[in-house]
Amino acid sequence: MKLGKLGRTKGTVTLRNLASHTSGLPREIPFPCSFGGNACAESEVLEVLDGLLPVLPPNRRFHYSNLGIALLGRALGHAAGDNAYESLLGAEVLAPLLMANATFSTAEVLAKNLLATGASSTGSQLNFSEICVPAKGAIGSWGAPCGCLWASADDMAKLMMLFLREDAPADDAKQLVDGDTIAEILMPSILLGDGSSAVGSPWEMKYSSGHWIKSKQGELPGYRSSVSIVEELKLGIFTSALISDTDELSVWTIPSLDLLIPAVSAADWANKPPPAALPAASKLKQMIGGYYKPGTVTIALDASNKFLIFSEGASQPSMNLTAIDGIAMTQAMRAQPITTKQGCRWLDDGSDLEILSWQWNAAGDKVVSIMFMHGKFGKIE
C-alpha cells in the first residue's frame, strides 16, 4: 500500500504506530468500505487506501484511528499465516483465557440469545442484526479488529485479570505473556497536551488520585463499554451501557476508581508485610560504619533500628537501604531517597533504585568495601 506524505517525512508507518494511534492515518476506513458502506474484501480496502493522504506524518501526535487498528489486526493475521485475525485472536487469546462467550459472530450471539439489546439516544430499542453493517450476521468484516467482538462481563473480567498478573510467568496456557510484556503493553507511548494524560498501545491513560488509570472504551450504535485498571493496586472495573451517548465518556469507570483508589491504597499499605529482618548482629556490625573514596560515606541504623541508612556527604540526600527479593542483604541492597524536594523526574534521574553491593573478605566475616553507582568505597577501620 502506498501512502501519501505530509512535510519532510518518509511516510513510514510501523506496527507500534498503528497500535498507539500515532500513525497519522485517518480515523475511519474510507468510503465505500466504512461502517454503513460495503463489506469490502481486503483487496478492495487496500485499493481505496492506495495513495490516501494521511492526516499527519507519523509520530507527531495522537490521532485516534479505527483504520489503523484494523490494519494492525489484519497485518497480525497475515504474519500468523492464516490471514484471519478473528481465528488468530480466538486461538491465541480468547480460548486460553476461557472467554467462552467472546465471538466475532453476530449471528452466533443472536442465535444463542446472548445479546443485551441497546437503545438509541431517544430510548427506542435497536435491532442490531439490521444496523450492524457491514458485519451483518457474519464473522466480522475487514474492519472487525477495530471493534466487532462480542463478550460478556465475565469474559472481560478474565481479560482484565491477565493484566493484573504481572508477577506470574508465562505458561503457554492461561498466562499468555510474562510480566515484562504486560509492563510493555501498559506503558505510555505518547504524552497528551494536558500533561496528565497519555496513550499506550492502545490504552488511554489518565493520572488521577496518585495513580495512572489505564483505560479503553469501545462504542457501536446502542452500546458503550469501558475497561479501566490500576495494575499496581490489582484493581479493575468494566462497565457497559446499553446506549452510545453516555454522560460520562469512561462510562463512570474512572470516577468510580477515583473513589476506590484511596481506600484500596490505604488497605494495601496496611496489609503490607513487615520489612525483612536485618542480618545477624555479627554481619550487621561489619556492614555499618564509615567508608571512604575520597569523601566520607557512612552506613548506620535509623532511630528505630529497623533500617540501614546510606549517607554520602551533606550535599546528597540520605538513602534507605532496602531488601531485594531473592538476594541476601549481605550481598546487595536497593537505595531509595528518604526525602526529596526535586520531584519525580529528578528523583528518577538520580540514584533512586540503584544497587549497593558489599564486598567481603575470603572468610566472609569482614566487609572490605562497598560498590555504589560509579564508586568503590573502602571500609574505614
pLDDT, the chain, mean: 87
* pLDDT of residue 296 exceeding 90: no
Number of domains in the chain: 2
b vs e for 214-224, b when ≥16 Cβ sit within 10 Å of the residue's Cβ?
bbbbbbbbbbb
* CA torsion angle 217 144 75 71 (round to 10): -70
Among residues 307, 379, 358, the alpha carbon closest in space to that of 336 is found at: 307
First to last CA, the chain: 72
| Residue 202 sits in the same domain as residue 94 | yes
CATH at residue 293: 2.40.128
User: Which pTM value belongs to this model?
Assistant: 0.85
| Residue 137 sits in the same domain as residue 193 | yes
| Residue 296 sits in the same domain as residue 320 | yes
306: pLDDT confidence band, cut at 50, 70 and 90? confident
Among residues 199, 233, 268, the one where a domain terminates is 268
231: pLDDT confidence band, cut at 50, 70 and 90? very high
C-alpha neighbours within 13 Å on the C-beta side of residue 285: 5
| Residue 236 sits in the same domain as residue 369 | no
| Residue 199 sits in the same domain as residue 258 | yes
**Residue 163 CB coordination number (10 Å):** 19
* pLDDT of residue 1 exceeding 70: no
What is residue 112's predicted lDDT score, i.e. its pLDDT?
Answer: 87
What is residue 349's predicted lDDT score, i.e. its pLDDT?
Answer: 79
| Residue 296 sits in the same domain as residue 257 | no
Domain interval for residue 355: 281-379
- 48: in domain: no
Which position has the grid cell 452466533? 108
158 or 54, which is more confident?
158
| Residue 322 sits in the same domain as residue 174 | no
| Residue 250 sits in the same domain as residue 370 | no
| Residue 202 sits in the same domain as residue 343 | no
What's the pLDDT tens digit per position in 133-171?
444 433 457 888 888 788 999 999 999 999 999 888 899
CA distance 52 to 29: 11
* pLDDT of residue 239 exceeding 80: yes
| Residue 192 sits in the same domain as residue 337 | no
What's the pLDDT tens digit per position in 315-334?
777 889 999 988 999 999 99
What's the pLDDT tens digit per position in 113-129?
888 888 887 888 877 66
Length of the chain: 381
| Residue 162 sits in the same domain as residue 199 | yes
CA distance 217 to 356: 44
Which position has the grid cell 573514596? 293
What is residue 130's predicted lDDT score, i.e. its pLDDT?
Answer: 60
